[in-house]
Amino acid sequence: MSPTLEVKFRDQDNELLHRALDIRFSSQQRLSTPARAIDARLASRNSNISLAETHLFECYSRSGASSVNDRMFTKAKEQDYSYELNTVRRAAGASPLLLFQEFFETSYPTDKQLQFLIRTAHSYSDIVAIPLVSRITDKVKAGAGVDEYLKFVVRALQCVDTYNKKPVMGIVPLKLPFIHMEDLVSLYCKRDVRAFCLDFAASTPDTARQSLEQVLFSLAKEEALKESFIHAINVSPGRPRTTKTVSACQSILSYGYGVDSFGDLHRTRMIIKGPPSRPVPPRLFSRRDYGDHMVSTRQSFRDIAPEKSGMSVQSCVGNKDLTRLFNSEQHSLETRILPQLMNPGRGQPRLGEYLAKKEYVEKDNLKHMKALGVNLRKKRVQRRFL
């Protein structure tokens, strides 16, 4: 039997779904939410940079069947992969590391391949996440297709339970048909899984809110929401036009849709083919207005300069890795402010008021976050009196 993740509820906003949790992965690994996960590979490649705020790291690994087989059958390939993951583990330091492995095929992994993926997660991650199979779940249809996926999840959980001393994280692909979302959540809850990774598949929180709401309602129905840790991957910040100098950052609003932490966008919606276009200036997040700013001039660099950072804004020009690190660092800094506004002191705004003053928090987003909070609280009251 796998150990259950220890989740201690600290606080929640009275209006929105922003909340604060204390999470204990092990005696050595703890996390306070809300949190922003830093890409451990980027941190490893840029180890000379000391980010101003880091509490959580994640690593996203995509492998096909041939790569997994090579690592299983060839010791040199296995050792190369082990060296890579050890480097990532060192980059995380004393902070928790979440390893997500995507089996990038249109068929499910064999028992041996699944064992390799599970054992790898157990060796390097602070939580054992079920492997992702997005090429299947992105297109699966209700009925027999989802039944096959649920069987795979059961098989993966049985493999984890064979030998496991770490908490388990269930994967919830938000592209699954709505009708089966509750079935998947119920399956995890019945096996005492209390950590969940929602794969947004390059959608924004608002675009995915119907499926996200169903996940939250299902957890509330199982009376497991308050004791569950919800992480999100592949959350899109939005797709602004290339001519738009400032766009609304959608991913930072994930917390208002019931998410406790989120990481980078590792998947894209489209691949643009054709001749290479001119380099696009980086888009950098500003905590002042929640906008992603396109910076290209000296004045725009001065305008976006943050109060606190472990890196230079100018270093992001022409460097996508540093752009992603800068944005995740600024998101992480912002998460330290949010819990204070759940129960603000005299003269401080409430969280909803704080967000409403951000120029690039769209009114519709705030309206939808508030509605989700109201609906979920009604659901809890109904459950209490049934």
Q: Residue 222 domain-assigned?
A: yes
Q: Residue 1 domain-assigned?
A: no
Whether 101 shows a pLDDT value over 60: the answer reads yes
Q: With bands split at pLDDT 50, 70 and 90, how would you rate the model's confidence at 345?
A: confident
Name 271's Cβ contacts closer than 8 Å, sequence gap at least 6.
none
Q: What is the mean pLDDT of residues 345-369?
A: 94
Q: What is the mean pLDDT of residues 302-319?
A: 89
Strand order in the sheet with 35-39: 97-103, 56-63, 35-39, 261-262, 229-235, 195-203, 168-173, 128-129
For the chain, the C-alpha Rg in angstroms (whole number) is: 21
Residue 235 pairs in a beta bridge with 203
| Confidence (pLDDT) at 381 | 46
pLDDT digits (tens, 9 = 90+) for 167-178: 999 999 999 999
Distance CA 160, CA 120 (A): 11
Task: Identify the three-state secondary structure at position 221.
Answer: helix
The percentage of the chain sitting over the pLDDT mark of 90, rounded to a whole number, equals 80
Integer CA distances (angstroms), 146 to 37, 153, 171, in order: 30, 10, 14
Q: What is the mean pLDDT of residues 312-338?
A: 94
Whether 384 shows a pLDDT value over 50: the answer reads no
Q: With bands split at pLDDT 50, 70 and 90, how would you rate the model's confidence at 375?
A: confident
Whether 273 shows a pLDDT value over 70: the answer reads no
Q: Residue 308 domain-assigned?
A: yes
Q: Residue 314 domain-assigned?
A: yes
Q: Residue 19 domain-assigned?
A: yes
What is the number of other CB atoms lying within 10 angstroms of the CB of residue 137?
20
What is the number of other CB atoms lying within 10 angstroms of the CB of residue 359?
12
Whether 383 shows a pLDDT value over 60: the answer reads no
Distance CA 292, CA 248 (A): 6
Peptide bond into 177 cis (omega under 30): no
Quote the tokens at residue 21.
């949790």
Strand order in the sheet with 6-12: 6-12, 19-24, 30-32
Burial class of residue 78 in the structure, from the number of CB atoms within 10 Å of its CB (0-12 exposed, 13-18 middle, 19+ buried): middle
Whether 275 shows a pLDDT value over 90: the answer reads no
H or E segment and range at residue 371: helix 363-385
The range of the structural domain enclosing residue 231 comes to: 6-271+279-342+350-385
What is the number of other CB atoms lying within 10 angstroms of the CB of residue 196?
25
- Please state which of the ranges 218-222, 238-242, 345-349 shows the lowest mean pLDDT: 238-242
CATH of the domain at 44: 3.20.20
Q: With bands split at pLDDT 50, 70 and 90, how would you rate the model's confidence at 89?
A: very high
Whether 344 shows a pLDDT value over 80: the answer reads yes
Q: Residue 169 domain-assigned?
A: yes
Name 67's Cβ contacts closer than 8 Å, sequence gap at least 6.
none
Strands (E), the chain: 6-12, 19-24, 30-32, 35-39, 56-63, 97-103, 128-129, 168-173, 195-203, 229-235, 246-248, 261-262, 283-286, 291-294
| Confidence (pLDDT) at 278 | 60
pLDDT digits (tens, 9 = 90+) for 132-153: 999 999 999 999 999 999 999 9
Q: Residue 65 domain-assigned?
A: yes
Q: Beta strand 30-32 with 246-248: parallel, antiparallel or unpaired?
A: unpaired
Q: Residue 184 domain-assigned?
A: yes
Spatial contact of 23 and 43, defined as CB atoms under 8 Å apart: no
Report yes or no on whether pTM surpasses 0.85: yes
Number of domain units in the chain: 1
- Mean pLDDT score of the chain: 92
First to last CA, the chain: 32
